[in-house]
Amino acid sequence: MALEVIEVSSPGEMRVFNIFPGLIYRAQHRAPCFPVLELSRLQEEGLFARVQAQPFLAVRDSRAVGRVAAAVHAALCRDKTGFFGYFETINDPGVAAALLHRAADWLGERGVKKMLGPVDLSPHERLGLLVDGFTGYHNPGMPYNPPYYQTLLEQCGLAAEIDLLAYHHDLRSPWPKKLVRVAERCAGKPQLKLRSFNPLDLQGEGEILAAIHNGSMDVIWGFTDLSPAEGTAVWKKLEGYFDPRLALIAEMNGQPAGLCLALRPAGKGPFASLAGRLNARLAVLAVLPRYRLQGLEALLILECFRRARNLGVITIEFSLIAENNVMMNRIIKKLGALKRSRVYRIYRTMI
């Protein structure tokens, strides 16, 4: 009955690491799409060029009973912050503790003083533990986990770092008249151009994504800058999986000013389903500071709503919204009809 946590190093161990969630979710009578970790591809994908990671397996009697991955992002070295992610375990406090201790030890050897999670390698990936809102449809890429994970993490002494919120909006409900007026006034500006994402210019669109992200989100919890190459990698990762018609870019006098990205599974993609066609997730709403409070946020949201509704989407989810993101929570309050539906929690522990 001895429990051992081993570093994943061989292809066979990596395969066990990636198929292990099937055991957990078969027991939970739910089969979410969980991400696959391929260490051999990390350096090949621009999004992970600055990430160093190590997966671990908890093994008892030659059988896997849990997994975790520890990761360090070069942009956060000065903050001495690292992550644990890909966390899955049977309902056993001893297994959870062993996994978290091993991840913390690995991070500590690399100078990390604070461990946050669940975060899958970087804040640009899947992050947060679902602690409220387990029922209903869950958009692809959003965390899902058994409810007992919260108890296990807290029994291991981890404290809440921040809550990330999800809100749902029924696109069949009337849009706030004030928001429509503000958006229409902004749309009338001759220097403004609203266009769709151009899938034929991934490099150029990656540069724009990085510029808008870095210029507008630097005060948001979890901010990690994007290089142009990493921006391109984001688009490449979404390509073929999500409908590009819901990616909008606003330009003022020919220069990037804002971005709105809603994710709806592509018709023939791996996440395609009836529920997927009826739901979308507004994942990014970013406006550069000098263009804020001029109606651009309202215009991007309403144009996204209009396009989504024309595609047959009924419900759109705003996520993940940090509880201390003043601007987004203010926008959500003005929309009125949005309902807070889920809470995802980031935990921390000092090493």
Residue 339 falls inside a structural domain: no
Q: Please compute the mean of the pLDDT values over residues 156-181 and round it to a whole number.
A: 92
The answer to whether position 349 is within a domain reads: no
User: Band of the pLDDT at 30, cuts 50, 70, 90?
Assistant: low
Q: Tokens standing for 336?
A: 């009125």
Q: Give the Cα separation of 76 and 246 in Å (integer).
A: 31
43 residue type, one letter: Q
How far apart are the C-alpha atoms of 297 and 211, rounded to whole Å? Answer: 17
Q: 35 and 128, same structural domain?
A: yes
Of the three residues 121, 146, 164, the one that is the final residue of a domain is 164
H or E segment and range at residue 235 = helix 228-238
Do the Cβ atoms of 207 and 228 come closer than 8 Å?
A: yes
What integer best gives the mean pLDDT of the chain? 91
Q: Which domain holds residue 59?
A: 3-164
* Same domain for 33 and 58: yes
Place of tokens 């069949």: 172
CA dihedral (186, 192, 195, 199) positive or negative: negative
DSSP strands (E only) in the chain:
3-7, 51-60, 63-73, 81-89, 114-117, 129-132, 159-170, 192-196, 247-252, 255-263, 279-287, 315-322, 339-350
* Residue that is last in its domain, among 164, 195, 217: 164
**226 part of a folded domain:** yes
Express each pLDDT in 119-129 by its tens digit.
998 898 899 99
Cα separation, 68 vs 17, in Å, equals 9
Q: What is the CATH number of the domain that holds 98?
A: 3.40.630.30
pLDDT digits (tens, 9 = 90+) for 316-341: 999 999 999 988 888 888 787 678 89
Q: How many domains does the chain have?
A: 2
pTM to 2 decimal places: 0.94
Give the end of a domain, one of 141, 164, 187.
164
Residues 154 and 219 in one domain: no
| 32 three-state secondary structure | coil
Q: Give the relative orientation of helices 93-108 and 148-155 as an angle to the nearest 10 degrees.
A: 60
- Choose among 239, 9, 281, 267: nearest CA to 140: 281
- Nearest C-alpha neighbor of 242 from the set 267, 273, 266, 274: 266
| pLDDT band of 179, cuts 50, 70, 90 | confident
